[in-house]
Structure 1
Amino acid sequence: MHTQHPLVVVTGGSGFIAIHIIRQLLQQGYAVRTTVRSLAKTAVIHEMLTNGGITDFQHLDIVTADLSADRHWDQVMAGATYAIDVASPTPKLDFKHKEEMIRPAVDGVRRVLTAAQDAGVSRVVLTSAYGAVFAGHPHRTTPYTEEDWSDLNWSHIHPYQESKTRAELAAWDFIRNEGHGLELATVNPVGVMGPVLSAKYSHSNVQTQQMLAGQVKAVPNVDSGYVDVRDVASLHLLAMTHPAANGQRFLATTGETLSMLDVANVLRAAFPAFAPRLPTRTIPNVLVKAAALTHPNLRMVASLLGLYAGTSNAKAQRLLDWHPRSAKEAIIATAQSMIDLGIVTAPAE
Structure 2
Amino acid sequence: MPSTVLLTGGNGFIAVHIISLLLSGGHSIVATVRSENKTTYLRQKFAEAIPGGQLKFAIVEDITVSGAFDEVLKSHTFDVVLHTSSPFVFTINDVKKDLLDPAVLGTTEILKAIKANAPTVKHVVVTSSFASIVDLSKGNRPGYIYSEKDWNPITYEDSQKDPVSGYYGSKKFAEKAAWDFLESEKPSFKLTSICPPMATLQEVKSMSNLNASSSAFYALFSGQQKELQNAGVWFWTDVRNVAEAHIAAFEKPGTGNERFFICEGRFSINFVVEYIWKHYPERAKAKGIPEPSPSAAFPETGTYYPDNSKSKTVLGIEYTPPEITIRDTLEQFVALEKELGIE
TM-score, L = length of structure 1 = 0.83
Change (3 A) 1:144 1:161: same
Q: Does 2:96 correspond to 1:87?
A: no
Give, in whole Å, the separation in 2 of the partners of 1:124 and 1:31: 16
Give, in whole Å, the separation in 2 of the partners of 1:143 and 1:339: 37
Q: Tell me which residue corresponds to 1:231.
A: 241
Shift of 1:344: 8.8
- Pairing of 1:1-349 with structure 2 (within 5 A): 6-49=3-46, 55-57=48-50, 58=52, 59-65=54-60, 66-78=62-74, 79-90=77-88, 94-118=92-116, 119-120=118-119, 121-136=121-136, 137-138=138-139, 139-153=141-155, 158-199=165-206, 201-203=209-211, 205-221=214-230, 222-254=232-264, 256-276=265-285, 277=287, 278-280=289-291, 308-342=303-337, 348=343
Shift of 1:225: 1.7
* 2:92–2:98 CA contact under 8 A, matched in 1: no
Change (3 A) 1:274 1:171: farther
Q: Which runs of 5+ in 1 are unaligned?
A: 286-303
Give, in whole Å, the separation in 2 of the partners of 1:227 and 1:181: 32
Give, in whole Å, the separation in 2 of the partners of 1:211 and 1:77: 44
* 1:209–1:344 CA contact under 8 A, matched in 2: no
Shift of 1:346: 9.4
Q: How many residues align?
A: 321
Change (3 A) 1:166 1:203: same
Q: Which runs of 5+ in 2 are unaligned?
A: none
Change (3 A) 1:280 1:243: same
Q: Deviations over 1:235-290 (max 9, x none)?
A: 11001222211111111111x212223222223323334323433366979xxxxx
Give, in whole Å, the separation in 2 of the partners of 1:111 and 1:317: 31
Letter in 2 for 1:322: I
Describe the SS at the equivalent of 2:317: coil
Shift of 1:211: 1.9
Shift of 1:60: 0.6
Give, in whole Å, the separation in 1 of the partners of 2:277 and 2:271: 10
Which range is displaced more, 57-66 or 67-76?
67-76
Q: Tell me which residue corresponds to 1:289.
A: none
Change (3 A) 1:328 1:176: same
Shift of 1:31: 0.6
Shift of 1:5: 5.1
TM-score, L = length of structure 2 = 0.84
Letter in 2 for 1:28: G
Shift of 1:124: 0.7
Shift of 1:320: 2.0
Q: Deviations over 1:30-57 (max 9, x none)?
A: 110011111101111223446xxxx332
Letter in 1 for 2:321: S
Give, in whole Å, the separation in 2 of the partners of 1:208 and 1:280: 14
Shift of 1:63: 1.0
Q: Percent identity?
A: 25
Give, in whole Å, the separation in 2 of the partners of 1:208 and 1:317: 27
Change (3 A) 1:111 1:279: farther
Which range is displaced more, 155-164 or 80-89?
155-164
Letter in 1 for 2:72: V
Change (3 A) 1:184 1:281: same
Describe the SS at the equivalent of 1:341: helix
